[in-house]
Amino acid sequence: MPKPLSTPQLSLLLAAIISLTPFSIDAYLPALSQISRDLGTDLHHLELTVSSFFIGYAFGSLVGGPLSDHKGRRLVAGIGLLCFMVASLAITMCESFESLLLLRFLQAASGGVTTVVVPAIVRDRFPRQQAAQVMSTIAFIMMAAPLVAPIVGSAILATWGWRPIFLFLAVYGLALYLLTRAFMPESRPNGEPPSAFSLKKTLSVYRFVLSHRQARPFLLIIVCSNAIFFSYLTQAAYLLYEYMGVTELQFPMVFSGFVVCLMIANRCNAFLLRTHDSLQILRWGLMAALIVASALLVAALFTGPGSLWVMGFVLLLISSLGFVNSNSQVNFLHFFGENSGTAASAMRASQMLVGASAGALVSALYNGTPVPLACVMLFMAGCAFVSMRKAGIAVDCEGGVVSP
């Protein structure tokens, strides 16, 4: 029987699990140039492995959630971590671009199976208001990964080459597996025993989740806020290198500054949750995002390259997401008790699909100015705000869990 964890300890473990994704992406990016030379392929071609990772992650998320509803969170997380470790070890022996592409897909799918149980576990164990605080804490801890991962990847790359980066990821996966086996309790509602997996039942639950009238506005808020962040990531290199003229040495410091501001916003959100309802904070965050996105478009239209106004508004907009993400996710999952794993899968897959589409749209509209980015961000902020306005009284603070 796993040893019981306090809420801070459980938050730390869940944050370490969900950090698999940023570590798998950001520790690998510094090595792309060396991998392209080693495998004899061009860098642009090799960037397909990043796309395959996102596709694999979305696929794994869709599979992992329903499995965890039927077989248990702890079991599915353990299997996902073992598969992640095996895929990472296999990548260290890659000799071709094709094998790397396939193994990155499998590594990401394993990571998706594992990490999708995190919001489901939070939903299982905590009431709505406390769940929002826990999710905010997890997000705060997890955001250290994009700061640390490139440094770790670059250090390993400079010392031993690119293959040991994936050996490091395999060791990280093994450590998480051992911690999960030792400390993660099963959290499925009422301690229900594992049940048989049914594709028909799973598709029925997905249909129920996506068509739920009261939960749907929160799902739209989640995907729109994620699309804002993906749009920023897509244009980060342009904004910093070309628009602001920062150097390669300055880039990681400025980029990290945005992450730090988002971390601070998450901590402020956790503090506000002690005295304010998560729905109220969510409304504040969405209103701030809409106002700042509008100001960003005005600044993009009427200022020139290197405008601190544009960068300042982008920074404020990204920071406002710290008051939106955790609160919208918790309120969405609140409607789904025994099906919270499947709901988390739908949420993660939708985030990836819409986020990637928004990033691709910004790239397609690129005209050498930040105007297309500002337009897409304002559109997404507007959709999220309208969705919140239409949500009405969507959550009963005393409960109100429903199932098909």
22-69 pLDDT tens trace: 888 878 877 877 888 898 887 667 767 777 887 888 899 999 988 888
- Tell me which H or E stretch contains 46: helix 43-46
Residue 399: band (very low, low, confident or very high) from pLDDT cuts 50, 70, 90? very low
Other CB atoms within 10 A of residue 26 CB = 18
239-269 pLDDT tens trace: 887 888 887 567 677 877 888 898 899 889 9
Whose tokens are 């306005």? That residue is 389
Strand partners, 402: 336
Average pLDDT over residues 137-148: 84
Average pLDDT over residues 305-332: 92
- Asked whether residue 370 carries a pLDDT value surpassing 60, the answer given is yes
Residue 284's alpha-carbon distances to 51, 151, 209, 327, 383, in angstroms, are: 34, 35, 26, 11, 15
75-122 pLDDT tens trace: 999 999 999 999 999 999 999 989 999 999 999 999 999 999 999 899
Spacing of C-alpha 224 from chain mean position: 13
Least confidently predicted of 139-148, 193-202, 231-240:
193-202
Closest CA to 83 of 65, 56, 101, 62: 56
CA–CA dist 72, 65 (Å, integer): 10
Residue 401: band (very low, low, confident or very high) from pLDDT cuts 50, 70, 90? very low
The burial class, CB within 10 Å (0-12 / 13-18 / 19+), for 252 is: middle
Q: What is the rounded average pLDDT for all residues in the chain?
A: 86
- Asked whether residue 170 carries a pLDDT value surpassing 90, the answer given is yes
Residue 386: band (very low, low, confident or very high) from pLDDT cuts 50, 70, 90? very high
Average pLDDT over residues 178-194: 73
The answer to whether 245 touches 306, Cβ cutoff 8 Å, is yes
The burial class, CB within 10 Å (0-12 / 13-18 / 19+), for 19 is: buried
| Cα atoms in the Cβ-side hemisphere of radius 13 Å centred on 157 | 18
Residue 193's alpha-carbon distances to 51, 68, 75, 341, in angstroms, are: 37, 11, 12, 15
- Asked whether residue 398 carries a pLDDT value surpassing 50, the answer given is no
Strand partners, 399: 396
pLDDT value of position 107: 96
- Asked whether residue 397 carries a pLDDT value surpassing 70, the answer given is no
Residues 6+ apart with CB under 8 A from 404: 204, 205, 208, 339
Main-chain phi, psi angles of 396, to 5 degrees? -85, 115
Average pLDDT over residues 319-348: 87
- Tell me which H or E stretch contains 121: helix 117-125
- Asked whether residue 225 carries a pLDDT value surpassing 90, the answer given is yes
Total residues found in the chain within this entry: 404
Helix (H, G, I), strand (E, B) or coil at 19: coil
pLDDT value of position 26: 78
Average pLDDT over residues 280-298: 95
Give the sign of the dihedral formed by CA 373, CA 377, CA 380, CA 382: negative
The answer to whether 16 touches 184, Cβ cutoff 8 Å, is no
- Tell me which H or E stretch contains 255: helix 251-272
Closest CA to 376 of 229, 236, 181, 276: 229
Average pLDDT over residues 207-229: 91
Go through the domains of the chain in sequence order and give each one's CATH number. 7-184 (1.20.1250.20), 212-391 (1.20.1250.20)
CA–CA dist 128, 335 (Å, integer): 10
pLDDT value of position 392: 53
Whose tokens are 């520790």? That residue is 27
